[in-house]
């Protein structure tokens, strides 16, 4: 017969005398939830565990589902992969995944370290475990002193390699895009160019660029706009959005127009022309960036925005008649734009605020890339459309 632990919603078989709660001696100990609706931790997803816990606490089924699925789909998928790894470790070692103790949890992190994983990756696993268990038990493993010191040791033993600049050349891409006449080029070319310049100017992730909406756009009047203010869809949830930083992440971003001499790759002017030329295709679409294909009637998804960013890079090379034989990814635009801002003399805090990074280590350890080997080509450009005001290369 199972007993209900009063501090959690975990159903436990009566432990054998002298057997600690974290050691599993009976498969029934993996049963979790209410007596009427138990799930098996060995096969349940992380979301099912959280949902079942809140239902067992009296929450309605739909409410429990919403609480469990508060993160974005991408984050849920990432968390699930790490949770499965943690569950495999617990099952292989006869450990209870909910009532695990510090020494055995440290063994799990040691196994990750011995696999060669970086400290930042192991920190991600700790976040998954702690952010899951804190819903169910009062212990917060994310603030455990012994575990924190252990991960600090991992950091000293395995220093992070500094980030490298993308193999593709930003200055070459901008030179190629500058040859396109915004007024006469093909609509699809204008779309790729606009998407790339907006991503570079805002330093936003592809999902956030995709979430910009037309309704709340602001700009001045005149033949050439001098600024534009963009906002994301109020229903959009950013990858790193939480209750504490939601208002910050939803703040609008204002982009200043580049001088007239740089109008050929000015994100504000490019967006102005794009909106005028795409007016007939817009119909009822809410997103700022829409497909150039007439037959597509719905708003596009973030994966499509990624494709447009990659196509802009490829197009820049094609327009300069340069073969593109190196890897190129949409997310590299974010780090490269921030690196150009920093190397051009823009204060570090301004770079962090633009990219919505809370700590400088996120930028310096993962995104800040050396661009000195590309400086000769950069010097040919008056200003680079990196950041809301552009970056002048010294």
Could you tell me the pLDDT band of residue 147, with boundaries at 50, 70 and 90? Answer: very high
pLDDT, tens digit (0-9, with 9 covering 90-100), for 34-70: 655 677 888 889 998 898 888 888 899 899 899 988 8
pLDDT at 20 over 80: no
Write down the domain spans for the chain. 3-157, 170-378
16 with 38: CB under 8 angstroms? no
Four-CA torsion 319, 324, 328, 334, nearest 10 degrees: -40
Q: What is the mean pLDDT of residues 301-317?
A: 95
Instruction: Quote the pTM value.
Output: 0.66
pLDDT at 121 over 90: no
pLDDT value of position 2? 34
Query: Which has the minimum average pLDDT: 4-18, 39-53, 61-75, 85-99?
Result: 4-18
Lookup result for tokens 């709660």 = 21
| Secondary-structure class of domain 170-378 per CATH | mainly alpha
Beta bridge partners of 10: 32
Burial 50-88 (b: 16+ CB within 10 A, else e): bbbbbbbeebeeeebbeebeebbeebeeebeebbebbbe
- Mean predicted lDDT score pLDDT of the chain: 85
pLDDT value of position 25? 63
Residues in the chain: 394
């Amino acid at each position: 017969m199972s007993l209900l632990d009063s501090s959690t919603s975990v159903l436990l078989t009566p432990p054998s005398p002298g057997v600690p709660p974290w050691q599993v001696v009976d498969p029934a100990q993996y049963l979790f939830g209410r007596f009427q609706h138990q799930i098996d931790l060995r096969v349940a997803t992380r979301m099912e565990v959280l949902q079942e816990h809140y239902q067992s606490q009296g929450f309605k089924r739909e409410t429990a589902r919403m609480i469990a699925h508060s993160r974005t789909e991408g984050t849920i998928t990432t968390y699930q992969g790490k949770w499965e790894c943690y569950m495999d470790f617990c099952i292989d070692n006869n450990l209870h995944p909910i009532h695990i103790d510090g020494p055995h949890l440290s063994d799990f992190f040691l196994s990750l370290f011995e696999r060669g994983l970086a400290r930042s990756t192991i920190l991600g696993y700790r976040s998954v475990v702690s952010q899951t268990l804190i819903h169910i038990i009062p212990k917060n493993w994310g603030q455990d002193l012994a575990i924190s010191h252990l991960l600090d040791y991992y950091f000293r033993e395995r220093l992070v390699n500094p980030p490298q600049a993308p193999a593709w050349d930003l200055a070459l891409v901008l030179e190629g895009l500058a040859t396109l006449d915004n007024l006469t080029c093909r609509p699809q070319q204008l779309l790729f160019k606009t998407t790339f310049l907006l991503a570079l100017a805002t330093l936003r992730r592809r999902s956030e660029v995709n979430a910009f909406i037309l309704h709340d756009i602001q700009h001045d009047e005149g033949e050439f706009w001098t600024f534009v203010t963009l906002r994301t869809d109020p229903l959009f949830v950013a990858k790193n959005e939480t209750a504490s930083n939601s208002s910050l992440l939803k703040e609008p971003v204002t982009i200043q127009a580049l001088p007239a001499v740089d109008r050929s790759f000015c994100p504000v002017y490019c967006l102005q022309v794009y909106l005028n030329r795409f007016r007939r295709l817009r119909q009822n679409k809410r997103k700022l960036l829409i497909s150039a294909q007439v037959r597509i009637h719905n708003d596009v998804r973030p994966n499509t925005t990624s494709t447009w960013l990659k196509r802009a890079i490829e197009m820049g090379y094609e327009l300069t008649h340069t073969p593109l034989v190196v890897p190129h990814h949409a997310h590299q635009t974010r780090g490269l734009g921030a690196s150009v801002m920093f190397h051009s003399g823009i204060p570090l805090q301004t770079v962090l605020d633009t990219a919505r990074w809370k700590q400088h280590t996120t930028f310096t350890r993962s995104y800040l890339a050396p661009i000195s080997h590309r400086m000769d080509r950069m010097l040919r450009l008056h200003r680079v459309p990196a950041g809301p005001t552009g970056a002048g290369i010294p």
